[in-house]
């Protein structure tokens, strides 16, 4: 009988040891799982930020190209000539008007004439008067 008591105590110690190991392994697995999920979220955010950075860099390059174009000597000269009627030294500016004396005709700006139909009217014709719509769409 004396041999059984130490054996039972030994078995109880082994069970407690195994139970403690299982608890420790559970907490370790839980901690590693949380870290893994946190790392994957951080990697996802990094990928999104890198993509956003690439888009912003492309926008910056486009803007710099536009700035270069708008500040170039040729563009400024062209805009000055067209919009403000400027000329270089020694040049003479001659404005040719058509018979009506309308400057809009020279700039190819369409006038609102009888053939001009506003967009809301065209939609009205589209839904309610197909013949008129087809006639107006040919203009």
Give the tens place of pLDDT for each residue, 13-25: 899 999 999 999 9
| 137 shares its domain with 108 | yes
Cβ burial 87-97 (10 Å sphere, 16+ → b, else e): eeeeeeeeeee
| 56 shares its domain with 30 | yes
Give the tens place of pLDDT for each residue, 84-112: 877 888 877 676 666 665 555 455 544 54
- Domain holding 101, by residue range, is 95-139
| 65 shares its domain with 103 | no
Q: What is the domain count for the chain?
A: 2
Averaged pLDDT of the chain: 82
| 7 shares its domain with 62 | yes
| 82 shares its domain with 99 | no
Domain edge (last residue) among 41, 68, 86: 86
The whole-number pLDDT of residue 20 equals 96
| 82 shares its domain with 106 | no
The whole-number pLDDT of residue 11 equals 87
The whole-number pLDDT of residue 31 equals 96
The whole-number pLDDT of residue 107 equals 52
The whole-number pLDDT of residue 102 equals 53
**Residues 93 and 87: beta-carbon distance below 8 Å:** yes
């Amino acid at each position: 009988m004396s041999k059984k008591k130490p054996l039972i105590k030994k078995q109880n110690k082994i069970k407690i040891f195994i139970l403690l190991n299982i608890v420790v392994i559970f907490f370790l697995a839980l901690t590693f799982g949380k870290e893994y999920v946190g790392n994957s979220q951080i990697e996802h955010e990094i990928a999104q930020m890198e993509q956003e950075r690439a888009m912003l860099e492309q926008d910056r390059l486009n803007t710099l190209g536009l700035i270069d174009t708008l500040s170039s000597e040729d563009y400024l000269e062209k805009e000055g000539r067209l919009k403000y009627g400027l000329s270089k030294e020694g040049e003479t500016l001659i404005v040719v008007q058509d018979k009506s004396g309308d400057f809009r005709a020279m700039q190819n700006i369409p006038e609102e004439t009888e053939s001009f139909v506003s967009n809301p009217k065209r939609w009205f014709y589209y839904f309610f008067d197909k013949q008129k719509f087809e006639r107006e769409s040919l203009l």
